[in-house]
Amino acid sequence: MTRVTRFAARDPGPAARMAGFLAHLRAHGFKLGVGETQVALSALTHIDAARPDDARRALKCVCTGSAEDTAQFDALFDSFWLNEGRVRSRVKPSDTMQSRPNVRSSIEGDGPQSGSAGAPHAPDGGDGEAEADGMGRLVASTVTNLMKKDLRDVVSPQDIAAAEGIARRLGAALRDRRSRRRRAANKGQQIDFRRVIRRSLATGGEPIALPRRSRPDRPVNIVALCDVSGSMTVYARVFLAFLAGLMRADPATDAYIFHTRLVRITQALRDADAMRALNRLTLLSDGFGGGSRIGAALDQFARTHARTSVDGRSIVLVLSDGYDTDPASDLGDAMARLKRRGGRIIWLNPLKSWRDYAPVAGGMAAALPHLDHFAAAGTLNDLAALEPELARL
């Protein structure tokens, strides 16, 4: 227990060691600034710092900020201070993109998910394109599709124009109607006393003008995540057109596609020229029609982009059939994490319109408890028909 790490003789002292420890935590995804080092050092002056358990508890309350941090902290503390092999058994940072939180596009991605030119690979050890097996069931495929697909074959600018109208209407249906906060306005239910008093100074305490406060409408930002894996290829035309329409109808939206990895396509879709937008999308969507790793993609989204773009006034729109090659629990965890950001989650599943469809695919079943709305959507007409349902949310 008390095999305390022996630091090298040239070690410059406790302050530097503490800075080293904080850097060690930061490298494992803790959100810590420079100020925390100072706080950590002063916290140690209030306890018996020579006792490892006391020091551990004190540093724990300074350095952690969430239940996840707390769960990770003990192992990280041991590895740094208690000689648990700083080099050997370093705790592996959880996968996905934690160490690169500001990734906007994974084009420059390295590692097995990059899907760049080169040898084909099967991330989960899958063996071949398994879009459907002998039983006639749809199964999720694990293979990254390296064939480039020209999206101009999939979506036409006319589709986008049609989808834009629908997206505009849906977007309007999803707008938050009222804010809870009031703001100064010419008309409104409440009198703005602060301004009344100020104005009445000029009239000797006679409140002649009665400025008011109202609850302004506040926009909801929509974040759409579209599955473009092999099993979804037939619906890609509709959904990509829909996304393009959504992006063009409303500047406060964000769009991503995922197959075996997650790609942000917002900028590409906003291109003023619909044809050029598709071109840019083709370049981005390397791996289109390949395997599906919904759990990993959504988890990555929840950990990176969602931290800045999803809050209590967001709607996350997931367009996917729910066939996932990752374990179902991954998807459940990712959805729970996403839900904690406070937004509403709507899942549109093209298969739901099938007769006798039940969400039994492991991933779909795991995601269901976290959804605010689960609806069918396979064609543009289906999407248009969603308007009244979404307005009610």
Partner 1 sequence: MSWQDLQLSMSDQGYVAGDDLAMALHIALSLGRPLLLEGAAGVGKTEVARVLADMRGTNLIRLQCYEGLDASHAIYEWNYQRQLLAIRASAEGGTTGRAVEDRIFSEEFLLERPLLQALRKDTPPVLLIDEIDRADEEFEAYLLEILSEFQITVPELGTIKARSIPMVILTANGTRDLSDALRRRCLYAHVDYPDRETEMAILRARCPEIETQLGQQIVGFVQSLRGEELEKTPGIAEMLDFAAALMGLGIADLTENPAVLQATLTTLLKTRTDRDNIAPEVAQRLAGQAA
Residue 342 binding partner 1, by CB under 8 A:
yes
Cβ closer to partner 1: 31 or 152? 31
Whether the CB-CB separation of 23 and 63 falls below 8 Å is answered with: no
Residue 99 binding partner 1, by CB under 8 A:
no
Residue 194 binding partner 1, by CB under 8 A:
yes
Cβ closer to partner 1: 8 or 34? 34
Least distance (Å) between residue 229 CB and partner 1: 28
Residues 6 or more apart in contact with residue 309 via CB below 8 angstroms: 221, 223, 254
Cβ closer to partner 1: 177 or 181? 181
Residues 6 or more apart in contact with residue 256 via CB below 8 angstroms: 223, 224, 225, 226, 262, 263, 264, 265, 266, 301, 305
Q: What is the DSSP string of 202-268?
A: TTTT---S--EEE----PPEEEEEEE-SGGGHHHHHHHHHHHHHHHHH-TTEEEEEESSSEEE-HHH
Binding residue for partner 1, selected from 89, 150, 193, 358, defined by CB under 8 A: 193
User: Tokens 């007769």 correspond to what residue?
Assistant: 355
Binding residues among 208-247 for partner 1 as defined by CB under 8 A = none
Burial class (CB in 10 A: 0-12, 13-18, 19+), 342: exposed
* Helix or strand run (H / E) with residue 365: helix 362-367
Binding residues among 32-51 for partner 1 as defined by CB under 8 A = 33, 35-36, 39, 42-43, 46-48
Residue 184 binding partner 1, by CB under 8 A:
no
Residue 67 binding partner 1, by CB under 8 A:
yes
- Kindly indicate which of the ranges 59-67, 134-142, 162-170, 239-247 contains the residues binding partner 1, using the contact rule CB under 8 A: 59-67
Residue 372 binding partner 1, by CB under 8 A:
no
Which one-letter amino acid corresponds to residue 45? T
* Contact residues for partner 1, defined by CB under 8 A: 31, 33, 35-36, 39, 42-43, 46-48, 53-54, 57-58, 60-62, 64-67, 69-70, 180-182, 193-194, 196-197, 200-201, 204-205, 207, 307, 311-312, 340-342
